Amino acid sequence: MVRRGEIIDDAMDDEFYLRRLDAGLFVLQLLCYIMVEICNAGVPQLQQRIHQILNLRGGSVKIVRHIMREYAENIGDGKSEEFKESEQKRIMELLENF
């Protein structure tokens, strides 16, 4: 739609994001989140192994970071802005050490 010059409003953008979540993005985000948490557990061997597996499977740290940034941008239930901001900050801190 963007390539055709159509304007995408926030409602359409939200709809596309929800469709992507239903199509498997949620599972991908959850797996990336688990990998990032494990890498931040303070055990260097775990971080090395996760990076090794990513490389073997054709993945990259850059892709995981992109997925987690998108996750952080869309986190929260819309009710508590304070929770959203604190969780976004925490995720970004985890990504710095990934």
- The whole-angstrom separation of Cα 40 and Cα 59 is 19
Amino acid at 9: D
Question: Where are the chain's structural domains?
Answer: 10-97
User: Tens digit of pLDDT for each residue in 24-33?
Assistant: 999 999 999 9
Q: How many Cα atoms are found within 13 Å in the side-chain-facing hemisphere of 14?
A: 4
Give the pLDDT score at 83: 86
User: Tens digit of pLDDT for each residue in 41-80?
Assistant: 999 999 999 999 999 999 999 999 999 999 999 887 767 8
